[in-house]
Amino acid sequence: MPYENLPPPPPSIGRSSNLRARFPNVSEAFLAFAEKLLQGVPSQPAPAPLHPRGVPPDSVAPVALPKRRARHGALAKGKAEAGDTRFYVVRVKSFRMRLIDTDNLVPKWHVDALRYASVLPDDSPDRARIETSQEKVGSKEEERTEIEIVIQTKP
């Protein structure tokens, strides 16, 4: 039979297993660490619990929430609030040594960052107008992007 010449299976890993027999090239540091774990003594204090988003609690920055999904109708009947009637004009101007095609000058990341930072309440066409332009500059040090926000009453 072909299975007669196979070596016996290694012992199972558990509290009573011999790690040196299972792993002949294991280091002494690992063996000491494993022994502490098997005795129930942690090698270092437990780390601080993480924030639900996976970051330490002392470094939590405000996080932008995604837009709410569309619903089929109103949740309740009643008088609607007046709300914010301001209109926003966002001008994104790029200063570049080499001008690019207008369709490649995409302000989406800038506008989304403004929305996530709550500078813009919404970037829909009835609440905001986005304008892009570019200007040629003479050196790499002069390259930059300027963002101008003008708040108006609704047109």
d(CA 47, CA 34): 19
| pLDDT of 69 above 80 | no
Contacts of 33 (CB under 8 A, 6+ apart): 43
d(CA 111, CA 130): 8
Strand order in the sheet with 144-153: 128-136, 86-96, 144-153
d(CA 124, CA 133): 20
Q: What's the first-to-final CA gap in the chain, in angstroms?
A: 89
Q: How many CB atoms lie within 10 A of CB 39?
A: 9
Which of 30-34, 79-83, 89-93 reaches the highest mean pLDDT? 89-93
Percentage of the chain surpassing pLDDT 90?
22
If DSSP codes are grouped into helix, strand and coil, which group holds residue 87? Answer: strand
Q: Cα–Cα distances in Å, from 113 out to 72, 74, 103, 121, 133? A: 28, 29, 20, 11, 19
Angle at 143 between CA 138 and CA 147, to 5 degrees: 130
31-60 pLDDT tens trace: 887 777 766 655 556 666 666 666 555 655
126-154 pLDDT tens trace: 889 999 999 999 999 999 999 999 998 76
Give the residue ranges of DSSP H helices in 67-131.
Answer: 108-116
Each domain of the chain, given as residue ranges in start order, spans: 14-44, 86-153
